[in-house]
Amino acid sequence: MIYTTGTITGSGNTLNGTGTNFAAAGSLIRNGCTVIVLTSPAQVFQITAVNSATQLAVTPAVNPAIPAGTRYAILLSDSKSLDGFALDLAETFGMYQAYMSGFGDVMTGSGNVTITINGVAVTVPAQKSLVQKGANGAAPVESGGTGSTTAAGARGNLGISDKQLNSVDGKTGGTISSPISITGGVSIVTQASSYGDWNFIYPSTLKKMAYAFCENYGDLVFVTTQATLTGTEKYFAMRNNGNFTTQGNISCVSLTQTSDADKKDEITTINDARDKIRLLRGVTYILKDTGMPSAGVIAQELMDVLPEAIGSVFDDYDQYESVEEPYEVETLDENGELITVTETRVVTRLKRARDDSKRSYTVDYAAVTGLVLQTAVELDQAVAALEKNQRNMAAFLQAHGYNPETDYTVTEEN
């Protein structure tokens, strides 16, 4: 028997093969085999070691060097040599012994085991590491299985309900990194009696740029802020009494105020409007918050004249913080038994209540318009009375020879 697969090149005491598998199990290539290289003249070597599938150590040294692509032949057995037969038999037994040793490691070892098959190292899991099925024919949860042969049973063993799979019910925390679309309504269940939170986060610092929350059992508050600066919050509040308050200007094309008599009780004309208007002054001023000029009246001065036109808003607001708190939840253990475990969730709590002493007076300029209008009415009435008196006076004087065409302030010169 001879082995002639591939070609070789050689120098020194080494032969390197191309397309060879000198280390293949059962090939009978071993120490002592004869290698005949088909050079001109032919060279003959004896193998002293099988280094790898593509390399042999030989003796004597190669001379001259063997060029790449040279054909060769390895004599594997000699039918007339008892020594050769013994060596071949030992080689074969050694191969099978290596196989049996490898399979023994597979059967008795743990974790992953590396064995050599046909000269190739193969890593496989040991038998003890394979998942063993339970009495119901399913791999248990502790071995990475579901512990059930049915979908419903598997979900139950893993603590997953159909409701969780069909909705986001029961989910806590996490990040959605792509746009979402919601068909239908969105409900925010407040974490306390008067708080629900909706945030817009600056991506790099994760600080709030704007957010909305519910407070005082129904007040909806929107807050804008410069995410990197503290103390820059501006509030827009829609109160549960129907009022809307903001710290800045409101710009619109038109603003309509309801003034239907059917919506009013105790309608009373403003008395002594001219006396009241004399106590007021129109002023110009600079707003401290914005540095912008404006004009109007002073609320404290108007309060003594027309208190009905004065209101107030809070300059301070409740502050909240996010904290972690433990809570108990029921789930199923690996045996399918209902147990109670403690988990952690993030909730929002009131950090500081607003200071109710920090409030500003507001002016209802529609009410001021009412005062100005009634002042105009009183002035018109006064002018009408003066005009009537003037007409009576003129008629009286004419009856006594008064001529309205004559200028009685001019005297004749002597």
Phi-psi region of 175 (alpha: psi -120 to 50; beta: other; left: phi over 0): beta
| Number of other residues whose CB lies within 10 A of the CB of residue 87 | 18
Residues contacting 34, CB < 8 A, separation 6+: 44, 45, 46, 47, 74, 75
Whether the ω angle into residue 41 lies within 30 degrees of 0, i.e. cis, is: yes
Q: Which 3 state secondary structure label does DSSP give 18? A: strand
**For position 414, what pLDDT does the model report?**
45
As a whole number of angstroms, the distance between CA 139 and CA 131 comes to 6
Cβ-proximal residues to 387 (8 Å cutoff; 6+ apart), any chain: none
In whole angstroms, give the CA distance from residue 340 to residue 318. 35
Task: State the pLDDT at residue 295.
Answer: 94
**Tokens of residue 240, six digits:** 């549960």
What DSSP string describes 135-191?
TTSS--GGGTS-S-SSHHHHHHHTT--HHHHHS-TT--S----S-----S------S
DSSP state of 122: E
pLDDT value for 183: 82
State which amino acid sits at residue 73. A
Tokens found for residue 214? 């519910």
- β-bridge pairing 359-363 and 43-52: unpaired
Q: H or E stretch including 25?
A: none
Q: Is residue 125 helix, strand or coil? A: strand
pLDDT at 96: 66
Q: 261 by DSSP, 3-state: which? A: helix
Enumerate the domain spans of the chain. 2-79, 196-246, 282-362
pLDDT attached to residue 90: 62
Nearest 5°: the CA angle 189, 192, 196 is 50
For residue 93, the model assigns a pLDDT of 65
Question: 193 exposed, middle or buried (CB, 10 Å; 0-12, 13-18, 19+)?
Answer: exposed
Mean pLDDT by 10 residues, the chain (414 residues): 92 95 82 91 93 94 94 77 59 66 69 71 70 69 74 74 67 77 76 65 75 77 72 79 81 84 92 94 90 92 94 76 80 80 78 80 91 95 93 88 81 58
